[in-house]
Structure 1
Amino acid sequence: MPHPSVPRIGRTVAGLTAVAACSAGLLAAPGPASATPDPARAPGAPRSGTYPNLAPRPPMGWNNWSYYMCDLDEKTVLDNARALVRTGLAGKGYRTVTVDDCWMSRQRGAEGQLLADRTRFPHGMAYLGRQLHRMGLEFGIYTDVGTHTCEKFPGSLGHFRQDAEQFARWKVDYVKADGCNVPVAPGHTKEETFRDLYGRMSRALHATGRPMTFSVSAPAYFQFDGDSVWHRVIGWSAEVGNLWRGGRDVALQKNTPAAKWSSIVYNFRYNSRLAGLQRPGRWNDPDFLLAGASGLTRQEMQSQMSLWAVMAAPLISSTDVGNLPPAAREVLGNERIIAVDQDALGVQGRVVAQDDGSAVLSKPLKNGDRAVALFNTGATPRTLSVTAGRAGLPEAGSYRLHDLVTGRRTHAERTIEAREVPPHGTVLYRVTPD
């Protein structure tokens, strides 16, 4: 008897448009409770004997899914890779190029091996990897721990060792493993099944001897199973991999700008509550950056980039890099903001103040500074502020504020303030005690 498939969280974004009108109140809407502040005490917190730490900083790169979905081929991937190099984005850290679902043939080969779709990828995946490596980039690939991928291509269940060894032969650097179509055997729970399958994939990748960063999608399938289960799944995901998708996919290129903005706010809202379950080298992943020809405003693109950086989230663009509007290129390429995301301390910023239409986050940085983001989710301009003490800053006579978007430098005494933050806008300061 066939087992029912498990739909990929967020692949279907129906209803997001309806939510868009309520974006100002999303932060206050019912949702998962905050994670335990101390990751060492959180349920399922990472223990010794974990997957090798192959991502000491949040991964950065490009993935086709949100923009192209299954409309991809060798030329599309390589054109975007060349554009990463040409635009200078690769030099700023966007170096891992990941091919998502739909790259495979519908059937495995005679010896059970995965086969590239020869119409889409006529030279095969090893060739694709070689071309990326020649550009100084890294090669990422997609699989699924179930019987089939989300788009019904062959999954890795029953072939974990074989697939891992094949990825290693192809010189893959990054593996993203989804969790669609996972059959749950009688007498076993959904969580037990997911943990077993992701554990097998993790061990198979490690056994190849090739360092392959492992992106785990398991938590996305437990977001609505209750916080205790969800947080526990995040805990063991940090044992078997380097980063994990926590919830819904961000919206697709075909969705309206309003739906895209709603999905960005939704993903920010759930991810901002998981800071206690992240640690340096093990990253919460709220999904792709949508900056590009997406219909989003400059303020909306900038907000996503700034918030993802403060949350120490992976910065993985999903767009047509060769046709980036100037504003999107500036947003993605802002080195001051990238530096906040890639800060060596590796701490996810926390919400220190919020109301129905705003949130303030603070992130400690290695040199003793703080990154403070003031986010206006509402439809009208607002002045937002937070006291230095509440932002976690030490007492000082004054504080130097560096606006990481405009480059403007100012001073403050006891209050970090941003005047007239535009609708859907975020002001991101780097704050230094005097």
Structure 2
Amino acid sequence: MPPLPVSRIGRTLAGLTAAAACTAGLLAASEPASATPEPPGTSGARQTAGPYPNLAPTPPMGWNNWSYYMCDINEKTVIDNARALVRSGLAKKGYDTVTVDDCWMAKQRGPQGELVADPVKFPHGMAYIGRQLHSLGLRFGIYEDAGTATCEKYPGSLGHYRQDAQMFAGWKVDYLKFDGCNLPTQQGLTKEQTYRDAYGRMSRELRGTGRSITFSVSAPAYFQYDDERTWHQVIGWSAEVGNLWREGRDIALEKHAPAAKWSSILYNFDYNARLARLQKPGRWNDPDYLLAGDSGLTGAEIHSQMALWAMMAAPLISSTDLTRLSPTALDVLGNREIIAVDQDPLGVQGTLVHRDAGSAVLSKALKNGDRAVALFNSGDSPQTVSTTAAAAGLPAAGSYRLRDLTTGRTTRSRGAITAKDLPPHATVLYRISAR
């Protein structure tokens, strides 16, 4: 079938409550700069040719506090969740990066213009957090913003790109989530040029530190309601300056109702599933966090998010309280065969074979020649969802081997790929071989 159009659908998709909308990326506030910005093109960054280093050959995996804890974060919470990653066995399965999101810093920079950790929340400082995480065999991620202030009004990096990059490197940071709130449009530049300049500078400064820091770019999320051409252009250069990028709304927060969370998952799935042509191996579309955990979602819903994110080669970043993870949530997050679909070294995003108001079918090529096929009931009543081996892109064969990656059950088919009486919001994920 011809490729589906790359579309945001943000203006037309119904069902997402206002509560589940992005809390940190849709409004550009006008706040005075905390330091005089460097003029365009004169950041003093060491010039480095070519795109940002490929520091994420497979989609990143780990934990971030934002969706669950928001600003209610401190040293103990971060370290306790890091230890839970290790204790649960999730770290060994690839969840290896712990990222401290917004609100970790003091409201003012230090006397030399340096970022300062909140002395109450993080009394030992951020380098200490990094040492603790590294001692557990984990990677250290941190949050900052390209503008005058973060989304929660803590000091942003505008005017301090080199200083902040060098500080992060000194703290042994391995992963930077770089948001785009409060970035004023520079005189003589368009909004798109301003963002490109800002993210390009930070990209160069990170490279200039000599430390390998995976760079998560939030710029496209700030253009999701602009024209299609500009939005695609921003995603294009995001893939040059960083390793992964957020394109749209934040996933719902823990405080939101279960129905809002499910609507949020559906929304992010629908826009991200149409972006396969904008992603390539080592450069990842990011539809935001996994909500498996104490979220109020059903087992079918958290399994569907995990399966669909794996099909889309999305980053698998949990945002929940890992210290009291339910057995169901642990089984979902720790499913090795579904993780393998996400982390497949071929590095392609699965494509939509079919999508309507109540169901979706995705197919993803895997390196050994197999195909992963997801049959998703997005509706509110049981239904049969099906496709064929030919439609899913499998080669012609007398029969096919279908392995259900949740139950481990293997069956054979002459070409039909079916999930009968699939419960509401459930997904069956098959790994299919023509051998």
Common fold: TM-score over 0.5: yes
Output the CA distance in 2 between the equivalents of 1:19 and 1:54.
34
Q: Give the partner amino acid of 2:108.
A: Q
Q: Deviations over 1:197-226 (max 9, x none)?
A: 000000000000000000000001111112
Displacement of 1:377 in angstroms is 0.6
Displacement of 1:156 in angstroms is 0.4
Displacement of 1:185 in angstroms is 2.3
Q: How does 1:163-178 map to 2 (within 5 A)?
A: 163-178=164-179
Root mean square deviation of aligned Cα: 1.4
Could you tell me which runs of 5 or more consecutive residues in structure 1 were left unpaired when the two chains were aligned: 1-9, 21-47
Output the CA distance in 2 between the equivalents of 1:358 and 1:223.
25
Aligned to 1:412: 413
Aligned to 1:16: 16
Aligned to 1:271: 272
Displacement of 1:229 in angstroms is 1.2
Displacement of 1:346 in angstroms is 0.2
Output the CA distance in 1 between the equivalents of 2:373 and 2:19.
27
Output the CA distance in 1 between the equivalents of 2:282 and 2:273.
17
Aligned to 1:224: 225
Aligned to 2:77: 76
Output the CA distance in 2 between the equivalents of 1:58 and 1:269.
19
Q: Deviations over 1:398-433 (max 9, x none)?
A: 110000011111111121111111100010000000
Q: Does 1:300 align with 2:296?
A: no
Q: Give the partner amino acid of 1:357.
A: G
Aligned to 2:39: none
Aligned to 1:368: 369
Q: Deviations over 1:141-166 (max 9, x none)?
A: 00000000000000000000000000
The answer to which structure, 1 or 2, has the higher relative contact order (CA under 8 A, 6+ apart) is 1
Q: Deviations over 1:38-80 (max 9, x none)?
A: xxxxxxxxxx810000000000000000000000000000000
Output the CA distance in 2 between the equivalents of 1:223 and 1:403.
36
Aligned to 1:51: 52
Aligned to 2:92: 91
Aligned to 1:42: none
Q: Deviations over 1:252-285 (max 9, x none)?
A: 0000000000000000000001100000000000
Q: Give the partner amino acid of 2:398.
A: G
Output the CA distance in 2 between the equivalents of 1:75 and 1:61.
18
Could you tell me which runs of 5 or more consecutive residues in structure 2 were left unpaired when the two chains were aligned: 1-9, 21-48
- Which 4+ residue blocks in structure 1 deviate beyond 4 angstroms? none
Aligned to 1:313: 314
Output the CA distance in 2 between the equivalents of 1:142 and 1:297.
30
What percentage of aligned pairs have identical amino acids?
72
Q: How does 1:1-400 map to 2 (within 5 A)?
A: 16-17=16-17, 49-400=50-401
Q: How many residues align?
A: 395
Paired residues of 1:17 and 1:256 also in contact (CA < 8 A): no
Q: Give the partner amino acid of 1:276.
A: R
Secondary structure of the 2:273 match is helix
Secondary structure of the 1:295 match is coil
- C-alpha spacing 1:418/1:363, structure 2 compared with 1 (3 Å): same
TM-score of the pair, normalised by structure 1: 0.89
Displacement of 1:356 in angstroms is 1.4
Displacement of 1:18 in angstroms is 7.4
